[in-house]
Amino acid sequence: MAERGDFLAGLFVGAAFGIGLGMLLAPQAGKETQDKLRHKAEEMSQRMRGAVEKGCEAVQEARNEHLNRLEEI
């Protein structure tokens, strides 16, 4: 499970770095760039929340399965 978390963290950092670099190199006004960066950051934040929620649900399900197996023993 830790590998999945490491992968998601790396994915998030890589995506944020790529988006930020792309925005900084794009020929736009400063305010426009800030607005786009803010929007992309909010978007990534929402995606990460979704991924974390799914991960928590998977952990909870696995926990419940293991508890059920232990009760059967």
Predicted pLDDT of residue 41: 86
Predicted pLDDT of residue 36: 82
Q: In 3-state terms, what secondary structure has residue 31?
A: helix
pLDDT tens string for the chain (73 positions)? 556 667 877 887 888 878 877 777 767 677 787 888 889 889 988 988 888 898 899 999 999 999 999 888 7
Predicted pLDDT of residue 17: 79
Half-sphere exposure of 26 (CA within 13 A, CB side): 15
* Cα–Cα distance, 58 to 53 (Å, whole number): 9
